[in-house]
Chain A
């Protein structure tokens, strides 16, 4: 089961440059922390896909061991784990997030 979950997670984060595991969806988030990250990503204007872990127990548990990170949301960029809500918010506030996404080539040029 753990291997199957890992394979599915790997597939998800490899197929989309910016991927967010969250509770609920960007439009209907079901947790304040997930809502914050989705809002930040929308604000910086980066395209992302998300996965609602509340609809999939295997991924919901699997993602925690996959990244060695006990909580959700979790943000991945180009297959790499970036952080949870606090880290994303901190990076956004310091301006690092935009720079990071831009360096990764996933941020469309902003005026």
Chain B
């Protein structure tokens, strides 16, 4: 299972999103600080879920980051997030 698969699975389970995109952008950051030869360091997530309705951006991003804590601990270095409510 790739990190993208795990991210998708965790976010789906946590937020039951209406829309979810997960993209591994590690190749674009090859050679930069935080990049690793094996990749899977830089990801982009776009998520739309009712769970974020009425939440500030900071709170929505915190919720996404918290859900993915295990991945950060395991080498996820950078996560570009777009998180929106449905409302």
Contact = CB atoms under 8 A, between A and B. Distances in A.
Interface of A: 23, 30-33, 68-71, 81-87, 90-91
B15 to A, nearest CB: 17
Interface in B20-51: 29, 32-34
Contacts of A86: 61, 80-82
Contact of B32 (A32, A68, A82, A83): A32
A24 to B, nearest CB: 9
B6 interface: no
Contact of B65 (A31, A32, A69): A69
Q: How large is the interface on B (under 10, 10 to 19, 20 to 34, 35 or more residues)?
A: 10 to 19
Contacts of B69: 70
A31 B57 contact: no
A84 B61 contact: yes
Q: Residue among B57, B69, B80, B82 with the most chain A CB within 10 A? A: B57
A23 to B, nearest CB: 7
Contact of A71 (B33, B57, B78): B78
Given A23-B33, A33-B78, A81 B61 contact: no
A47 B21 CA distance: 36
A85 to B, nearest CB: 7
Q: Residue among A81, A87, A90, A91 with the most chain B CB within 10 A? A: A87
B57 A90 contact: yes
Contact of A69 (B29, B33, B62): B62
